[in-house]
């Protein structure tokens, strides 16, 4: 049987942290996919477009998975705390959670076409992607520490299973996202570098 060593206010603080961080995380996922669409519109490169579509698919999979995992954790925690309070405490100790919704952003592959873009624009888009990815990492770490840290006050089979959903299913999705996004941004940066080299007359075909 699961046991809990947690007051209502403490539990609510945990839930509030997760709901807030998840909301920021999902918003960043959407912003990254929108950034990918902008990169697509200016590069018009088949390899870059395919890379961005792959990265966006990974982003959307992670967004869906993270939301489901946090929702599962929050629901289980709310049930445990509220059931305990129903029997042993007062209504004032009840807690609640409101898991943010997630809407996928498609990043369709685009046909190759004439490119007319300043290298500085491409570098700026890569910088934006890296900044958003850093924001995503920060929110992920907040949720990761909050969920895994719950082992200090919530123990038992149910609690362990709830945390295991996060640790076993979400970490691989995060790694997949990191790999796909970095691969795509490398292609964009390479394009910008090549444009600069062409302009300077120093480009050497690989």
In a domain, residue 206? The reply is no
pLDDT for the residue numbered 88: 66
| pTM summary value | 0.85
The pLDDT of residue 13 is above 90: no
In a domain, residue 162? The reply is yes
Domain that holds residue 68: 3-200
In a domain, residue 150? The reply is yes
In a domain, residue 113? The reply is yes
Give the percent of the chain with pLDDT over 70. Answer: 85
Residue 156 carries which DSSP code? S
State how far the Cα of 172 lies from the Cα of 178, in Å rounded to an integer: 10
Residue bearing the bigger pLDDT, 192 or 2: 192
pLDDT for the residue numbered 202: 58
Map residue 205 onto helix, strand or coil: coil
In a domain, residue 176? The reply is yes
Say if residues 44 and 110 touch (Cβ distance below 8 Å): yes
The pLDDT of residue 204 is above 60: no
Map residue 117 onto helix, strand or coil: coil
Query: Which residues, including other chains, have CB under 8 Å from residue 160's CB and lie 6 or more apart?
Result: none
Residue 204 CA, chain-centre distance (Å), reads: 38
Residue bearing the bigger pLDDT, 109 or 26: 26
In a domain, residue 92? The reply is yes
In a domain, residue 205? The reply is no
Per the structure, the count of domains in the chain is 1
């Amino acid at each position: 049987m699961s046991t809990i060593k947690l007051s209502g206010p403490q539990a609510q603080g945990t839930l509030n942290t997760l709901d807030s961080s998840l909301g920021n995380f999902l918003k960043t996922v959407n912003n990254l996919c929108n950034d990918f669409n902008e990169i697509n519109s200016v590069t018009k490169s088949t390899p870059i477009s395919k890379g961005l579509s792959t990265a966006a698919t990974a982003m959307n999979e992670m967004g869906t998975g993270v939301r489901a995992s946090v929702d599962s954790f929050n629901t289980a925690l709310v049930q445990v705390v509220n059931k305990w309070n129903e029997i042993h405490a007062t209504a004032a100790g009840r807690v609640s959670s409101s898991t943010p919704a997630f809407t996928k952003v498609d990043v369709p592959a685009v046909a190759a076409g004439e490119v007319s873009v300043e290298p500085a624009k491409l570098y700026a888009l890569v910088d934006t992607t890296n900044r958003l990815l850093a924001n995503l990492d920060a929110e992920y770490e907040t949720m990761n520490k909050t969920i895994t840290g719950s082992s200090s006050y919530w123990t038992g089979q149910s609690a362990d299973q709830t945390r295991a959903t996060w640790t076993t299913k979400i970490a691989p999705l995060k790694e997949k996202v990191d790999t796909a996004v970095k691969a795509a941004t490398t292609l964009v940066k390479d394009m910008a570098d090549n444009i600069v080299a062409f302009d300077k007359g120093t480009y050497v075909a690989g």
